[in-house]
Amino acid sequence: MRLSFSIFLLTLVFFTSHPVQAQSKDTVKIMSYNVLSYRNFTSYCTSSNNSTSTKENALEIIIDHTLPDILAVCEMGSSPNGINAFHLMNNALNKNGRSYFQMANYTVTGNSSLTNMLYFNSNKFGLIAQNQITHSINNVQLVRLIDEYILYYKDSNLAQHRDTTYFHFLVAHLKAGNTGGDRTERGLATEAVMAYLDTINATGNYFIMGDFNLYAPNEPAFLDLIAYNPDPSLNFQDPVNRIGNWSNNSSYADVHTQSTRTSGGCGSSGGMDDRFDFILCSDEVINNSDKVRYIPNTYWALGQDGNRFNGNINSPTNNSVPNYVANALYDMSDHLPVLMDLEVTLPTTNGIEVMNNNMEVYFNNPIQNTLVINFKSSLNAIKSIEILDFSGKVVHRVEQDLKQGISVDFSGKQKGVYFLKINKQNGSKHIDKLIKI
């Protein structure tokens, strides 16, 4: 599997502790949506039965109604320089007084005509980095790559208390179909995801979301995600806890996400009878162990009232959403968007980052233009200080008397993640994460 993350990151151990702080909370909403061949025209999805303007108008209505802070999409038509992604943002998201949606960097999709994208409320989130999982563990190219987007929460008091929260969103559109070969391809993709997470010793607030095209919970692709044998601590959780034989089973009508239509048009027909679309999250989110908590009973396939089995999303009358929203869901895609709410815990008093090594180190984090590092004790134990970028490259090094501390000019450096590395005379190293905003 090819990963753009440096092997350097695999060995990082963070020794940061924080004083007890008063806390406030915020709620953020995340959404995952298969946008059904948006601006990708084929013999079966044409400009007539999959009109771009109709889809954009429908999505605008859906966004007006839900106001997500994170929108992960799949099945967007790939395009030079991500033009299609810009069209969606400008014509459906940043409308009706909204101007805060930003998009991640457009990524090359290999042999696929479809791509993923992540949009985010820039008042609340900032993009730190992206990664792609493109190959299986045996270095075979995946049918569709999987994108990882790493964001941080923009607390308004971030500069004062110097504490932030990270979100990792993995967006996947797994192979469609119900043949043995299709199931194998899906399994190769999720196996690659879990191997990647295992390799980087992933901890924290992770989400995997998208159209998984799963027909049964015992598929290897799903078992990879929820029952990862090499390290169960990496298992993803189903927030709604509705794992079962979903396909064409009325007992699971409340979680079906496809199809919004019984016949006609672009996309699948047959009515609502499959659970293809998911947002799964890490244990940390369920257990609220890293400042992000899933709010119970907020996971929902928008418009799914449990009465749609083998039927349309908008007929008979759907009382879970206004009629105009039900109609927009019908017009936009053959899939329903999946949503969930998260509670983010925010510190409200100043914090000082202290390395847990009997050596007090004070530094501002996040950084705007200048990183200031001061030391209180044990200065004779320090050999050098290094600043490394996200790839592990040393971008600044200091080997001088540090009694008065140092200042590092960050004004010309790119926004994102950096690492502060303190090398001690005895050969030990202490590393902490920095954010340039």
Is 13 a residue whose pLDDT tops 50? no
Q: How far is it, in rounded angstroms, from Cα 234 to Cα 200? A: 11
371 Cβ contact partners less than 8 Å away, ≥ 6 residues apart = 363, 364, 387, 407, 408, 410, 420, 434
Q: Give bridge partners of residue 23 from the DSSP assignment.
A: 347
Q: Which domains, ranges and CATH numbers included, belong to the chain?
A: 22-347 (3.60.10.10), 354-436 (2.60.40.3080)
More confident of the two residues 19 and 92: 92
Other C-beta atoms closer than 10 Å to the C-beta of 299 total 20
160 pLDDT band, cuts 50/70/90, is low
Is 353 a residue whose pLDDT tops 60? no
| Per-residue pLDDT tens digits for 259-288 | 999 997 899 999 999 999 999 999 999 999
Is 377 a residue whose pLDDT tops 70? no
pLDDT (average), residues 411-435:
82
| Per-residue pLDDT tens digits for 390-403 | 766 788 888 765 65
pLDDT confidence of residue 52: 97
Q: How far is it, in rounded angstroms, from Cα 158 to Cα 165? A: 10
Sign of CA dihedral 78, 79, 82, 84: negative
Is 251 a residue whose pLDDT tops 80? yes
Q: How far is it, in rounded angstroms, from Cα 134 to Cα 140? A: 8
Q: How far is it, in rounded angstroms, from Cα 279 to Cα 291? A: 19
| Per-residue pLDDT tens digits for 212-226 | 999 999 999 999 999
Is 379 a residue whose pLDDT tops 70? no
More confident of the two residues 152 and 191: 191
From the centroid of its chain, how far is CA 222? 18
Range list of β-strands (E), 247-290: 277-282
Helices 52-66 & 323-332 angle (0-180, nearest 10): 140
Is 360 a residue whose pLDDT tops 70? no
pLDDT (average), residues 33-62:
96
pLDDT confidence of residue 273: 98
Is 350 a residue whose pLDDT tops 90? no
| Per-residue pLDDT tens digits for 296-311 | 999 999 999 999 999 9
Torsion (CA) 233, 239, 241, 243 in degrees, nearest 10? -80
Is 410 a residue whose pLDDT tops 50? yes
The mean predicted confidence, pLDDT, of the chain is 88
375 in helix, strand or coil? strand
pLDDT (average), residues 409-413:
90
